[in-house]
Amino acid sequence: MDVVIIADKPATPRQIEIDGAIYIEDVRGRFVPEAMYRATAQVKMEPAIVELNGRPGMMDATGKWVPIALVKPANVLEDEIVRKCIAFALDASASLSRLLGHTKFDLGSYDALLEQEYGVVKRGEKGNATYYSYDGLYRVQVQVATLIDFGPELHIAKSLVDECINDWSADSRAELQALVTRAFNVDQEGTLNRSEIYRLLRYEMADPRWKRAMDAIRDAMRPIGSKEYIRFGRRADVKAKWETISLDFARA
């Protein structure tokens, strides 16, 4: 008896419309906004073997098609391994994107429910909040950091700081000069070293020029936006220390 295996056609995910917005059922059986569903769709790898006039071959780094018979077996094997690793990496990256999207959607829905039912706003003034499991063993933390840029006042601060260092004694000048150099020099991406600039503000000097320089740095700080960070934590029992669930590849 001949057996024929017929692949099932993937079912089209269900859709609903709420207040004019389209929601699509995801792999977890929940309806999420269409934009979120589309953004987290699984990434597919391009095939390594490309047929040209019925002949199998591979594209090289210059975009030239090479018959498979002329490609070294070692290169074919390396290509297969790299594509396999990249496929897993892309899938993991897509999973992280789905995790972030679902987490924001779930927490946002919960916040909206609290506000609607009880008039309670879960998050603080800056958007920070912590959510706990009922047994206190798991938590999700949302932290919003303000992004800071520096205005033209920073150039005035640099001039005043340089005046101070040039006039002060050689002993104090060496240490501070190194700190100032690190603070005001740009990094490889062309941005200022913000952490070192913030360190300058910790120094208390009696020189009026230094005080004006620190005031100029504070005046130069300008919020240009914010970035939201989500961290997941767990602990063995309520008396144990919290451990961060690492999503960093280097710490896995």
The predicted-structure confidence for 183-206, as pLDDT tens digits, reads as follows: 777 654 456 777 888 888 888 888
The reply to whether 147 and 240 lie within a common domain is: yes
Task: Calculate mean pLDDT across residues 214-224.
Answer: 89
Count the domains in the chain. Answer: 2
State the pLDDT at residue 3: 42
Whether residues 142 and 223 fall in one domain: yes
Range of the domain at 100: 42-122
200 domain-assigned: yes
Residue 240 falls inside a structural domain: yes
The share of the chain scoring above pLDDT 90, in percent, equals 17
Tell me which H or E stretch contains 117.
helix 73-118
Same domain, 101 and 48: yes
The verdict on residue 10 lying in a domain is no
pLDDT > 60? residue 8: no
Q: Establish if 140 belongs to a structural domain.
A: yes
Are 245 and 131 found together in one domain? yes
Q: 142 with 219, same domain?
A: yes
Residue 6 lies in a domain: no
pLDDT for residue 44: 59
Mean residue pLDDT of the chain comes to 81
What would the mean pLDDT of 17-33 be, rounded to a whole number? 76
9 occurs within a structural domain: no
Q: Residue 28 above 80 pLDDT? A: no
Of 36-40, 58-62, 92-96, 236-240, the range with the lowest mean pLDDT is 36-40
Mutual angle of helices 170-184 and 153-167, in 10-degree steps: 160
pLDDT for 7 equals 40
Residue 14 domain flag: no
What is the per-residue pLDDT across 89-141, written as a single tens digit (0 to 9) for each? 887 888 888 888 889 888 988 888 888 888 877 887 678 899 999 999 999 99
Q: For residue 6, what pLDDT band results from cuts at 50, 70 and 90?
A: very low
Tell me how many helices (H) and strands (E) the chain has: 6, 10
Q: 234: which 2 tokens?
A: 């767990």
d(CA 66, CA 175): 61
pTM: 0.60
